[in-house]
Amino acid sequence: MADVIEVLVPGGKASPGPPIGPALGPLGINIKAVVDDINAQTASYNGMQVPVKVIVDDKKNVTLEVGIPPASALVLIEAGIEKGSSGEGTVGNITVAQAIKIAKMKRQSSLSYELKKTVKEVLGTCVSMGVTVDEKPAKDVQKAIDAGEYADLFTET
């Protein structure tokens, strides 16, 4: 039976302190080695919270499963802002190409089967965060995608 520890860590900057250290300590594994491995695997997500599963089997073998940061964190990075809107205001802007980039990252965890629908999920996140897309309200861009605009950007890869 394996022990599974799920934590949210800052990309590339996990430390042996809480929440990782206290969770892994009782399992009798080398915490520093695990933290170093987590940091190596999450370095590309610098500045974002990254979900990580640490799986420790009966023989003390450690397996890491690094998730993708939430869409909201990816939108913040692409928009170059620190936080979303807490009200009605607009706090940033991304392009449709950036929304597609985020959708491709989130593809594995999305419930959608098509890239276009995953992009619309990302745009929904933009709506709730007060982020415009191509200087337009994200809801308008969702409608434009449904109408066939931006079709040339949706090449499945």
- Condensed to tens digits (0 to 9), the pLDDT of residues 126-137 reads 999 999 999 999
Number of domains in the chain: 2
State yes or no: pLDDT of 93 exceeds 90.
yes
pLDDT at 123: 96
Boundary (domain end) residue, out of 66, 85, 106: 66
**Average pLDDT value over all residues in the chain:** 89
Does residue 61 sit in the same domain as residue 22?
yes
Taking residues 98-126, what's their average pLDDT? 89
pLDDT band at 109 (very low <50, low <70, confident <90, very high): confident
Does residue 55 sit in the same domain as residue 82?
no
Domain limits at 28?
3-66
pLDDT at 156: 57
State yes or no: pLDDT of 157 exceeds 60.
no
Boundary (domain end) residue, out of 66, 100, 115: 66
For residue 58, the domain's CATH number is 3.30.1550.10
State the DSSP string of the chain: --EEEEEEEEBT---SSTTHHHHHGGGTS-HHHHHHHHHHHHGGGBTSEEEEEEEE-TT--EEEEE-PPPHHHHHHHHHT-SS--SSS---EEE-HHHHHHHHHHHGGG-S-SSHHHHHHHHHHHHHHHTEEETTB-HHHHHHHHHTTTTGGG----
For residue 143, the domain's CATH number is 1.10.10.250
Does residue 75 sit in the same domain as residue 149?
yes
Rounded to whole angstroms, the Cα distance separating 62 from 73 reads: 27
pLDDT at 64: 94
- Condensed to tens digits (0 to 9), the pLDDT of residues 55-85 reads 999 889 999 999 888 889 899 989 999 888 8
pLDDT at 63: 93
Taking residues 79-104, what's their average pLDDT? 89
pLDDT at 155: 66
Does residue 62 sit in the same domain as residue 92?
no
Q: Is the peptide bond before 51 cis (omega within 30 degrees of 0)?
A: no
Taking residues 113-118, what's their average pLDDT? 89
